[in-house]
Amino acid sequence: MSLNFAAPSMDATPVYLTDAQSLKDVLQALPEPVQTWADAQQFKGAFGTSLLCPDAQGKPELALLGLGDERARRRQRFCLAAAAASLPSGIYKLENDFPFQNKHYEVLGWLLLGYSFDKYKSSKGKNIKLVAPDWVDVTRIEAMASAEALTRDLVNIPASDMGPDALADRAAQLSAEFGATFEVIVGEDLLQRDFPMIHAVGRASATAPRLIDIRHGTSGPKVVLVGKGVCFDTGGLNLKPGGSMGLMKKDMGGAANVLGLAKMIMALKLPVQLRVLIPAVENSVSSASFRPQDILTSRKGLSVEINNTDAEGRLVLADALSYADEEDPDLIISMATLTGAARVALGPDLAPFYASSDDIAAPLIKAGEASLDPVWRMPFWDPYETMIESQIADLDNAPSGGFAGSITAALFLRRFVSKPERFIHFDIYSWNPAAKPARSKGGIGQGLRAILTALPDILELK
């Protein structure tokens, strides 16, 4: 699997981009036989269509890619990838420009056509390579593609091969690749180092819980990424039904996403002091399982009443957020496949995020639109604070009533940071239910390009 641009080649097939409005002008600039062929094939430049035009010997002379009309492009992302996917294997080069503000990310979509999850079954997919256009930032786009592939792979690998130990190994490999420092706190050492809720959630598993800690960079603003690493979630003693357990290998999607984001930040040498914290656990069932109505005391000192062991993600994140907060960073970002409520509210495409500051939220929204990585701001709704407060403890991990589940989870996490105005929380799904342009079915990154693109504005980087 290669997610890089092709080297320039004399054998590259020229590609002309068009839509319904520009088709006539594009064809008029091409040889008459091409015009005749396009007319005979009834090519209209519709979304996701392509036409290979032969020369006099019947060999491909050039290709036309249809980008559709404005309405079609509003209904789907990655219009360039949608059209390129129907081309045969080969090397292609763009001959004309297309007037989209996000054209760099459209080209990223082409690269992502090369992704396939082939760990367990060999892939016989096409190899549709693109020569980098002169205007594209090759290093940046290839770094994004590589990071997206890492995130997808981590989510797609089942818990049999991606438990807390394997996740820590992959994090260590990433650290070594970029010369970052790596530490992992395992098992009973979590109690010695005061991470009681991470230990409580993961202690029932045969694979010990752990906290992964990566550091990179020695100057610039301090940025901490905290990712939920629940490598499989049975629900604990509040056991999930079988249908709800089917996708729980992806419950470490937050960890996968922050590792992908960290890879981009390190590869592109953003001038920040980066830290990545991942509480990696399995929420399993055994005599050691934490129980409903247990009271856990967090690293921060806040007591938490357990009213549902299936609301475990916020518990492990809470200890990690407290740890992150102790160094007074300039920005903390948590990412987690935290609640079904977020998925019900926004579906699988939109990444919900919470931010107290408009100065943080506005750049994220703008960057999401520009990078074809849509995000949607959700409210830290203060009147719901009482819903997360217990009568016998400081906090309740699973408020009754079923209302505002994503909001109350975000409010719970906010209690563990001292500067909420510098905290962003993403409640992502990290799964694509059906194949779409540039996005295969399965694990997916959400919010990564939006965050990367927005960071310079948020942190006022030079």
- On whether residue 8 sits in a domain, the answer given is no
Residues 306, 198 within the same domain: yes
Compute the mean pLDDT over every residue in the chain, rounded to the nearest whole number. Answer: 96
**What is the pLDDT at residue 98?**
79
Lowest-confidence pick of 80-89, 119-128, 188-197, 261-270: 119-128
The rounded distance, in Å, linking the Cα atoms of 406 and 318 is 15
Number of domains in the chain: 2
120/154 same-domain check: no
Q: Is 189 exposed, middle or buried (0-12, 13-18, 19+ CB in 10 A)?
A: middle
Q: Are 416 and 322 in contact (CB under 8 A)?
A: yes
pLDDT digits (tens, 9 = 90+) for 282-313: 999 999 999 999 999 999 999 999 999 999 99
End residue of a domain, out of 136, 161, 181:
136
Q: End of a domain among 105, 136, 167?
A: 136
Identify whether 54 is part of a domain.
yes
Is the residue at 416 inside a domain? yes
CATH code at position 432 = 3.40.630.10
Q: Does residue 210 share a domain with residue 124?
A: no
Over the stretch 375-407, which tens digit does the pLDDT of each residue have? 999 999 999 999 999 999 999 999 998 899 999
- Report the amino acid identity of residue 77: R
Distance in angstroms (rounded) separating the CA atoms of residues 246 and 240: 10
% of the chain exceeding 90 in pLDDT: 92
Domain holding 56: CATH number? 3.40.220.10
Question: Does some domain include residue 4?
Answer: no
From 106, 136, 166, the end of a domain falls on 136
Task: Say whether both 177 and 124 belong to one domain.
Answer: no
Instruction: Decide if 293 is inside a domain.
Output: yes
pLDDT > 70? residue 1: no
Same domain, 209 and 130: no
| Range 195-211 average pLDDT | 98
Q: Residue 170 catalytic?
A: no
291 and 431 in a single domain? The answer is yes
Catalytic residue among 93, 140, 240, 419: 240
Q: Which of 94-108, 150-164, 384-398, 445-459 has the lowest mean pLDDT?
A: 94-108
pLDDT tens digits, residue range 9-58? Answer: 889 999 999 988 899 999 999 999 999 999 999 999 999 999 999 988 88
According to the model, what pLDDT value does residue 462 have? 52
Q: Over the stretch 144-186, which tens digit does the pLDDT of each residue have?
A: 999 999 999 999 999 999 999 999 999 999 999 999 999 999 9
Same domain for 86 and 176, yes or no, is no
pTM over 0.85: yes
CA-based Rg of the chain, rounded to a whole angstrom?
24
The burial of 248, by beta-carbon neighbours within 10 Å (0-12 exposed, 13-18 middle, 19 or more buried), is given as buried
Asked if the structure places residue 325 within a domain, the reply is: yes
**Interval 408-440: pLDDT, tens:** 999 999 999 999 999 999 999 999 999 999 999
C-alpha to C-alpha distance for 437 and 68, rounded to whole angstroms:
13
Q: Does one domain contain both 214 and 104? A: no
* Shared-domain flag, residues 312 and 382: yes
Q: 3-class SS at 59?
A: coil
- How much is the pLDDT for 124? 77
Question: Same structural domain for residues 106 and 174?
Answer: no
User: How far is it, in rounded angstroms, from Cα 415 to Cα 131?
Assistant: 49
Q: DSSP secondary-structure letter at 241? A: P
Smallest CA-to-CA distance from 206 within 317, 286, 315 is with: 286
72: domain range? 13-136
Residue 321's pLDDT band, with cuts at 50, 70 and 90, is: very high
Q: How far lies 288's CA from each of 102, 204, 245, 285, 433, in Å?
A: 51, 5, 20, 8, 34
Task: Indicate if 422 belongs to the active site.
Answer: no
190 and 127 together in one domain? no
> Which entry of 77, 152, 203, 314 is annotated as an active-site residue?
314
Please provide the size of the chain in residues.
Answer: 462
Residues 69 and 17 in one domain: yes
Domain-embedded: residue 220: yes
In a domain, 151, yes or no: yes
Look at residues 150, 172, 276 and name the one whose alpha carbon lies nearest to residue 225.
276
Instruction: Determine the Cα–Cα distance for residues 298 and 303; give it in Å rounded to an integer.
Output: 6
Structure tokens at 160: 């049999």
Is pLDDT larger for residue 314 or for residue 55? 314
